[in-house]
Structure 1
Amino acid sequence: MRPRTGSIRLPLYKDGPKLRERDVSPDSPTYRSSRPHQLRTRRSRWRAWLQTYYRTSLLPRDIKGVLKRLLIVALVGLFYFYWYWEIHMEIFVYSRSWISREVLTVEPLSGCFDPRRISSRYNATRAFGPKRHEVQAGLPMRMGLDCYDFAATVQPSEADRAWDGEGSEGYGKTNYHAYWRADLVPFGERQEWMIKSFFATQDLSRSVLILWSNGDLRSNPFISSWLSRFPQSFQLRIVNVDALSSGTALEQSPLIHQKDSKAWVDGDLVRLLVIWAFGGVWVDMDSLLTRDLRPLLEHEFFTQWDCYDKPYTPFNGALMHFEQHSPYLCEAFNIIASSPPPRHGSVDWGTLLYTKLWRRLVAGGIPPFKILPFCFSDGRSCRLDNRLPDPFVKDPKGGRWPLRGPAMTGPGGLGMEAGGALDRTLQKVFSVHLHNQWEKSFPRDGWVDRLLLRAYDRQLGLRA
């Protein structure tokens, strides 16, 4: 037998159809040239499947056309919605353990209402005596102008005009307190407007404004002119928390030196300390007073944060009033002293503190302080159709306010002109709280400029 010559190629695949498909090497040009044909075959199969699916399904065949139409409809719908509506959402996240520990837990009162502990400087007869005005409606008053109309029911009386003032330092006058951190933002024209609003709206024969600060403001040009013009009704004082806290649960406590970059923590504490020491009204510097506060002063009060239900932040201290050495404030200081330090940049010594105080009072059988409805000082915080317009943007086209509602019409016009609905409403409330926003300015000829700022200047003789 003759021996074989050359190499023998061993089969790599089993016999059958697959052997015929792979007997060409994958590295060969023949195999690579066949790939486009295979891909075209697969695309043809996929196209045939889609055609069969469209014929047997309920979906339209021209899906691109349908998607285009849906997109156009969606864009038109969004434009229509944006034109007629605004979306405002507030989402807060609270730790359940924090709620249980700091809100739901009600500790007993510390005894500040014990007759033996009430200070002789506290006028309990006036604080708990008969009242002439009702300042709590018992309803959230979200609809229409209900809240503003309720504010109009609180009108001055002869008894209000005979109010004998409060506080040993007021010399028979009611003290109005405000606070400015001179190390954060220079005192300028925006801050001066609160001072102007005070002198233009309050009875200066029975009122004195005390501007507290952590620095000397006497040389500031926006302040010095008012000191010289109203020397009997305007004072500057430096905050000394150690002296102000004397005789309270916070005396010599390291807590009283807390500060933050927003002046929230220290500002909330200064509010309570100065009213405790001297009695009177607190007004935040980012407020514009609109009428005399005297009809409110028979009550000790905080204000409602807004017209919505905020179970953990229902109160606001931007406008508040308490008598000198009020036991309400005494209890507040005891809550601060027995609670964890405030979180940085928080309202722990503001609305959270007031909430704790209110719950402890009612649990202890003590009539709580009053709560002024939101619109008395914060008409910016309610529904989009009845809140006060944004003070930092130009008036809307047409100058309409409120945004809708035939029941809101009245004499003088339905709008933002002088004598119109907005002007009449501003004469019903007591203050407009601007919520900081110090970097913004009031637009020229905007509603704040026309209806408030110019009115202050005319009242003070600064313009014709």
Structure 2
Amino acid sequence: MSLNQYTTRVRRKPQVILFSILKWALFIIVPTAITFFIVCRVDTHMRIYFRQWLSPPAPAVIEPLIHDGTCFKHLSSDYQQGQGLHHYNFIPGHRLQDDTCFGFASTVRPSPQIPSHDTIFHTRFDKNHFGPTELATVKSFLATQNSTTTRLVVWADSTQESLLASPYWQHIESNPRIAVQVVATAKEKQQQQQQLELMPLLALAQYGGVWFEPSAFFVRELTPLLELDWIAQGDCFSSVEGNPFSQTGMLHFRQDSPYLCEMLAEAKALQKDQKKVELPMLYYRIYQRVLRNGFKPWAIVPWCYTAPSQCKHSNSLQSPFARGEEVNRRWLDSVFAYYWRDPAPDEPSGDIYEYLEAKYDL
């Protein structure tokens, strides 16, 4: 045997050993991984950050209240540092990222000893379409909210005439608790767009009450939530970080709310400078500003009260239009409303929808 042949065999031996190790590793790892994913469900909500030495946190900026704090200078007698007096406690003292959110929500119930106040609910249907899903939304309001103290105002502009001509609208147009408010939109397209951007704030500044996005079903009476000004949390993950008002589906403010005053003043200042107003960012900015200037900010309604599907799969409800999973009716009956984000079908159906349909005759 030559020296070259011996050297080649010696070199090949480590390669053979390495190949055997990799082969057996694959035989072990692949079946183990397959078994793991068959047996277990993984919820991942990973975030990636730069190290602080690469991206140090910016110092907090204390913005002054707009117009030298005019909105907070003449508060009505039942406000204290901006926050209204109240009887109900619907905000827990810890973050709710598990099923305790539904448990706490179930304890918040109307009390016959506390009188209800007249409240106007507001919404605006974005399309020239009012079909069975939109009808179910309105009927869920009529079925669940106090019939003597609440009414609904549907905001529309001159381009939505076909909405009011819908045969589904005719089912409810004669109901005395429903009114249509036609918006006198500006002639210029830019000013018209600015009006529509601020529609929730403008409607609440004119009448006060609750603004809700039309992609929502009401599940039970909101009376215990109507003493304080609040914006509903968009999902459970913002309990830890991020903007809690991102993709919110519901907010409540009194007509004379100092927070509403501050937000509208800031929004109009942004529009004057030709800057786009993004309402979730505006809400969060004013919330921080109010807090850093020594006033109590408005309340944040926990995610499951109005958006019960926006958390981990293991501790949230499915889409109202989904089928196949067992509905946790105890959780569903504890929430106040169900705001969804997935597209609604033309003909609504699904386990949760049909449960609510049977319960409230939607």
Task: Tell whether the structures are fold-level matches, with TM greater than 0.5.
Answer: yes
Aligned-pair distance for 1:387?
1.1
Letter aligned with residue 134 of structure 1: N
Give the conservation status (yes or no) of the 8 Å contact 1:241–1:270: no
Residue aligning to 2:34: 79
- Are 1:107 and 2:68 an aligned pair? no
C-alpha separation between the residues in 1 aligned to 2:226 and 2:178? 19
Residue aligning to 2:180: 236
Superposed, 1:14-29 pairs within 5 Å as none
2:164 aligns to what SS in structure 1?
coil
1:427 aligns to what SS in structure 2?
helix
Give the conservation status (yes or no) of the 8 Å contact 1:255–1:341: no
- Label 1:60 to 1:208 Cα distance change in 2 as closer, same or farther (>3 A): same
* Residue number among 165, 169, 192 corresponding to 2:135 in the alignment: 192
Q: Deviations over 1:9-58 (max 9, x none)?
A: xxxxxxxxxxxxxxxxxxxxxxxxxxxxxxxxxxxx7x865631344x4x
1:147 aligns to what SS in structure 2?
helix
Aligned-pair distance for 1:375?
0.8
C-alpha separation between the residues in 1 aligned to 2:31 and 2:122? 52
Give the conservation status (yes or no) of the 8 Å contact 2:232–2:302: yes
Give the conservation status (yes or no) of the 8 Å contact 2:137–2:218: yes
* Residue number among 226, 229, 237 corresponding to 2:172 in the alignment: 226
- Are 1:323 and 2:254 an aligned pair? yes
- Label 1:130 to 1:313 Cα distance change in 2 as closer, same or farther (>3 A): closer
C-alpha separation between the residues in 1 aligned to 2:93 and 2:165? 47
Aligned CA-pair RMSD:
3.4
Aligned-pair distance for 1:256?
5.0
Superposed, 1:318-397 pairs within 5 Å as 318-339=249-270, 349-396=278-325
Give the conservation status (yes or no) of the 8 Å contact 1:293–1:430: yes
Residue aligning to 2:192: 257
Superposed, 1:76-225 pairs within 5 Å as 76-83=31-38, 84-89=40-45, 104-110=60-66, 111-116=69-74, 124-125=77-78, 128=83, 130-143=85-98, 145-160=99-114, 162-165=115-118, 174-183=119-128, 186-214=129-157, 215-216=160-161, 217-225=163-171
C-alpha separation between the residues in 1 aligned to 2:156 and 2:27? 58
1:141 aligns to what SS in structure 2?
coil
Letter aligned with residue 113 of structure 1: C
Q: Deviations over 1:256-308 (max 9, x none)?
A: 5337xxxxxx7652111101111111111111111000111011101122222
Give the conservation status (yes or no) of the 8 Å contact 1:182–1:213: no
* Residue number among 44, 49, 53 corresponding to 2:11 in the alignment: 53
Give the conservation status (yes or no) of the 8 Å contact 1:135–1:370: no
C-alpha separation between the residues in 1 aligned to 2:70 and 2:34? 59
- Label 1:78 to 1:115 Cα distance change in 2 as closer, same or farther (>3 A): same
Aligned-pair distance for 1:147?
0.7
If asked which structure has higher relative contact order (CA below 8 Å, sep 6+), I would say 2
Give the conservation status (yes or no) of the 8 Å contact 2:231–2:251: yes
Give the conservation status (yes or no) of the 8 Å contact 1:135–1:371: no
1:328 aligns to what SS in structure 2?
helix
Residue aligning to 1:37: none
Give the conservation status (yes or no) of the 8 Å contact 1:277–1:325: no
Residue aligning to 1:434: 340
1:79 aligns to what SS in structure 2?
helix
1:308 aligns to what SS in structure 2?
helix
Query: Any stretches of 5+ residues in structure 2 without a counterpart?
Result: none
Aligned-pair distance for 1:312?
3.9
2:236 aligns to what SS in structure 1?
coil
1:112 aligns to what SS in structure 2?
helix
Q: Deviations over 1:394-441 (max 9, x none)?
A: 223xx3xxxxxxxxxxxxxxxx3xxxxx11222211011101523586
Letter aligned with residue 269 of structure 2: S
For the pair shown, which has the larger CA radius of gyration, 1 or 2?
1
Residue aligning to 1:38: none
Letter aligned with residue 79 of structure 1: I
Number of residue pairs matched by the alignment? 344
Aligned-pair distance for 1:329?
1.0
Give the conservation status (yes or no) of the 8 Å contact 1:286–1:435: yes
C-alpha separation between the residues in 1 aligned to 2:190 and 2:197? 13
- Label 1:371 to 1:158 Cα distance change in 2 as closer, same or farther (>3 A): same
Aligned-pair distance for 1:76?
2.8
C-alpha separation between the residues in 1 aligned to 2:268 and 2:109? 39
Aligned-pair distance for 1:383?
2.5
2:172 aligns to what SS in structure 1?
helix
Deviates more, 1:81-90 or 1:299-308: 81-90
C-alpha separation between the residues in 1 aligned to 2:120 and 2:211? 9
1:180 aligns to what SS in structure 2?
coil
Letter aligned with residue 448 of structure 1: I
1:385 aligns to what SS in structure 2?
helix
Structure 1 residue ranges, 4+ long, deviating more than 4 angstroms after superposition? 47-50, 65-69, 90-94, 126-129, 252-256, 340-343, 439-443
C-alpha separation between the residues in 2 aligned to 1:441 and 1:52? 73
Residue aligning to 1:412: none
Aligned-pair distance for 1:93?
9.2
Letter aligned with residue 350 of structure 1: L
Residue aligning to 2:360: 456
C-alpha separation between the residues in 2 aligned to 1:284 and 1:153? 25
- Label 1:81 to 1:239 Cα distance change in 2 as closer, same or farther (>3 A): farther
Aligned-pair distance for 1:135?
2.0
Give the conservation status (yes or no) of the 8 Å contact 1:106–1:360: yes
Aligned-pair distance for 1:190?
1.9
Give the conservation status (yes or no) of the 8 Å contact 2:122–2:211: yes
C-alpha separation between the residues in 1 aligned to 2:191 and 2:140? 31
Give the conservation status (yes or no) of the 8 Å contact 1:202–1:292: yes
C-alpha separation between the residues in 2 aligned to 1:204 and 1:300? 22
